[in-house]
Every structure is written in structure tokens, then in C-alpha cells.
Chains A and B, each alone.
Chain A
């Protein structure tokens, strides 16, 4: 790693296993009125820093609209970051030229939340699976591409006969597999999985999760697992980042965060997981109201107007992530 250390204090440690180092990543969207004049800024990502180790599964959780998908897409380069650095495999990939970014994308791939919509409806599965190879390995002939595509298709558990079908002719779970196959043809090292289990019924969810774990082993993958399903995250992730309105409020080892959540937001999220034989969710759930408009955030801590333990200090000083616990960090003045 020959990139200079940033001036701000490092909270997550870079080591030789780090594959992706996100440093103070910020993404603002301009909010425009009907006449096209900027009337505000939507802070979709605000000073997000964390590292991803090679081979791990990092879960990113939070409510709808907290910036999970924006984070994934900004890492992917689909959105350009407003500021901050993205060190991927030792290279800064933030703000690359389009052609350099295309090269990077071979190793960094994004699996869409709706894989059916991510396939061209007028293309047969075969053509969609060939496309990544045509783009990045132009020297390969049709037969070589076909061979690779068939191998990948087998790895994701689809029959070769599906190559001649259109995306609307296969089921949601199969579309998910095709979406994964399309990415894997490029042999990426890091895959951003955006809600990989949403919209699937429970039995299909389980097979897809098992497939993801198998593929990780087989292709030596690292996952960024974006989800709002906490029980799934707990089952398959090594570490977790809890996001609230564009900021990481808690980060750490999965066991530590689930056993001893430090941030009040994490605590309320965890209390919302239904448990058989446990207390009713409505009895233990402490979170009230909607998150504030991300275009108009409160001063100080952005969680303070929903926080059960709010103090005057929270309105004045914005809490930073504190690495005060082993394998765990939280951004709260009063977390203990």
C-alpha cells in the first residue's frame, strides 16, 4: 500500500489483507427545483470510512434510503464520489477517467437488487452472458467464450438450455443466478451484492445464500453484502457496518455488534428482528417516527430526534466513530 495516509485519524486499520479501503467517502446529490436551480444538497453519503478484507463478507445494513445502495454504486463508479478516496487493490479508483474505470470494473462488480431488470429484455441469456467477455476479452472467439459461459453457468447451477431463453422466461431465483453468472465471467475479486435475497421466497433465499457461499470459495471472492435483512446478515457476514442517513454509525465484528450493540440505533434495529418465543417486536421496539429528510439534516448527531437517550450535547457536537471496544466501533457520545 503506497498511498499516503490521510490527515484525519484512521479508525479502521489497513493491513495486508485489505482489498478495499474506503476513506472519507462523500456523495452529495444536488436537489434542484422546477427551474433547475439548486435549492439544497442531499447528503447520501457523508464521510464514510471503512476497510474490507480479502475473502470476507462485509454486511451493510440500514433502513431504506440510508445510502446503502448509493454506497455500493459509488464504490462501483456508477456514481462519482463528491470527495474521498477509494483504494481498491492498492489503486485509487475514485474519480477515474471512464476508460480506466472500465478496466477496474473487471475486478469490481455489482449485483443488482432486481436481476431481472438488469438483463436486456430483448437479449437471450446467452448473449447477456457473452457480453462481459466481448467487452473485456475481445480476443476470445465465440467458442472460447461459450466454453467459459457454460462453465460459469454450471457453477451457478443453471442448465445450459437456459442460454436460449429470454430473461422474462425464467424465474426470479434463476434470474438471480444469471445475474451472478454474468458478473463471474469476468472473474472479479470484489462483488457488491445489493439485496441479493430480496423478492425471493424463503426456500429460494436459502439456496441463493448457499450458492453465494459456494461461489465465494470457488472463485475466491470478497462480498459487500447490502441488505436490510438482519437475520441473513448475521448468518453469513463476518463484519457489519450499520448505516443511518449516509453515515456509518456502528462498525465491527458480527458477533460483537449483535451481542453488544453500542449505538442506540443499532440497538433499536436489532430489537426489530422477530424471534420465535421472544418478546413481541412492538413491545421492545424503541425507534419512533421516520428518519429526517436527508436534504435537511438536524444539527449535531443526525439520529438525535429519534434517539431514546438524547442529551443536549447531541445537538451541538456530531459524534465520530470511536474504536473503544475490541473489534467494534460506534458513533455515539454516550455509547458505553
Chain B
């Protein structure tokens, strides 16, 4: 718990990371309180063709879309979809990748080589291409987007944990625990994992941004949640035929995606500085 308050204190000092954290906090609050904050909560599902493509104003903060729905309200509800996809996909990637990396790193056998070669194969194919292939094969739905993202993202954690495990394994206290009679499971879970946790946290934070971006790309390509779901990538995709006249139609979800991805990246960078002082952000000089 001391570590948590330490991270919090450092975070407040690091203004850039704090901005990232605040953006993410805003995203979470938005998702939770979408029904209260939105001006037209019913517009997620309902159409008002008479009000289609109205510009931003007091009635509709971010304007209306081709169906006459309020874009502001739809973006708030879209945050729920974004968070759901990112959290489940990342959790699955961590749950698959971390144990594989730990096992492959701890044991020095043909199995570790086999596991790492498999993850290399996944890494060799561009993430978006593989995710498109999976989403295309299984059909467009949120569940399939999550599946596609999990399948394509776990090798990042496997690689990271593998490398970190190999390096921590050379530490004397690991050998000392083995000499004391600790079982491999004990050494991996109680000694190695806590010592590489900070790298995993940093990777996970930055990975959230990448996952949200890829999810938006899949939505844009029509492989995500089907209409009329207020998924941000899908909204941008729908807006294309009305550009440049209805500029607000693409701008609002575009800025939402941009802010959220940037928020996670800033926070991830800040956490890296806090948790691993060896790697400093190049742009900042030590005082």
C-alpha cells in the first residue's frame, strides 16, 4: 500500500502523467454516468430524421448524425463500449501472456523455445491485419472484436514477461529461494512476479491505448459492433460520406479516440518514469 501512495504522490508531481490520469478518470466517469450526463440518452437507439446533420449548438452540443441522433450523447455511451472492449481484451491478453512468459522464462527447455516461437509468429503478422482476419471470419460483433484483440495482443506480454523473468532469474535471491527448497510455482508467483510487476503495469497501461485504437480501426472497417451501436470507430466510418460539410460528425468521435489513447500513453509514460527510474523520457531533463 505504501507503493500505491508513493505512485500517487509522484503522479501528482509529474504534470504530464497527471493529465493522462485525469483523461482516463474522465473516460471512466463518462462511461459510468452516461445516462445522467447525456442530453438525449434515448438517441443511442432512436432516430429523428427531421433533425439529421444539424451543426453543433445548444440543442445538440456536438451536432447530430445522419439519423438525427445527438452525437454528444452517443459519444458518452460509446465510452462504455470502448472501456468494455479495452478492459476485457487487455485482461485476457495479460492472463494469457503473463503465465506463458513466466513459464517460458523460468524453465530452460524446448518448451520455452516453442512458446516463444509461437508468440514470435503472432508478432510477425501486423496486429490490425490479424485482427481484421479474425473479425472478418467470425463476423462483426463486440465479442469477436474482443476475441480478435486478445488473440493478437497476448504475445506482447509473453515477450515482456519472458525477458524480465530471464533477467530477474539471475538475481541471487531467486537462487537463494530455490536453495531454500522453494517450489518453482512459489518462486515464480511470489518472487519473480512481484519483481517484474511494474513493467507489466506500464506495458498494460500503454497497451490500453493501442487496443482502443485497434478497436476503433475495426469499428471503422465495419467489423465491430453492428449499427446502431455508438462505437466511436463506426461513427467516424458513417461520417465519411458527409464530409467536409458535416465536419462535426467525424471530429467529435475522432477527438474522443485521440484524447483517450493519448491519456493512456501519457499515463503509461509517467508510470514508467515512476516505476523504472532507469529509463527516463528523453524529452525531459533531470532537475
Contacts and interface: CB of A to CB of B under 8 A. Distances in A.
B59 interface: no
B29 interface: no
Interface in A90-133: 102-103, 105-106, 109-110, 112, 114, 117-122, 131-132
Contact of A131 (B182, B194, B195): B182
Given A120-B195, A122-B195, A102 B183 contact: yes
B179 A119 contact: no
A131 B177 contact: yes
Given A117-B173, A118-B173, A182 B195 contact: no
B69 to A, nearest CB: 51
Interface in B174-229: 175-183, 186, 191, 194-195
Contact of A102 (B181, B191, B195): B181
Given A118-B173, A120-B173, A135 B181 contact: yes
B177 A78 contact: no
A136 B176 CA distance: 15
Contacts of A103: 181
B180 A121 contact: no
Chain B interface mostly helix, strand, loop or mixed?
Answer: helix
B172 interface: yes
Contacts of B176: 110, 112, 118-119
B181 A136 contact: yes
B171 interface: yes
Contacts of A120: 173, 177, 191, 194-195
A118 B172 contact: yes
Tier of interface size on chain A = 20 to 34
A76 B180 contact: no
B181 A76 contact: no
Interface string A157-191: 00000000000000000000000001100100000
Q: How large is the interface on B (under 10, 10 to 19, 20 to 34, 35 or more residues)?
A: 10 to 19
Contact of B178 (A78, A119, A132): A78
Contacts of B195: 120-122
A110 B177 contact: no
Nearest to B178: A78
B181 A105 contact: yes
B175 A78 contact: yes
A109 B179 contact: yes
A136 B182 CA distance: 9
B163 to A, nearest CB: 18
A186 B182 CA distance: 13
Contact of A132 (B171, B181, B194): B181
Nearest to B174: A120
A114 B176 CA distance: 11
B179 A76 contact: yes
Interface string A180-213: 0011001000000000000000000000000000
B271 to A, nearest CB: 17
23 contacts: A77-B179, A102-B181, A105-B179, A105-B180, A105-B181, A106-B181, A109-B180, A110-B179, A114-B172, A118-B172, A118-B173, A118-B175, A120-B173, A120-B177, A120-B191, A131-B180, A131-B182, A132-B180, A132-B181, A135-B182, A135-B186, A136-B181, A183-B180
Interface of A: 76-78, 102-103, 105-106, 109-110, 112, 114, 117-122, 131-132, 135-136, 182-183, 186
Given A117-B173, A136-B181, A183-B180, 16 more contacts: A76-B179, A102-B181, A102-B183, A103-B181, A105-B180, A106-B181, A109-B179, A117-B171, A118-B175, A120-B191, A122-B195, A131-B180, A132-B181, A135-B182, A135-B183, A182-B180
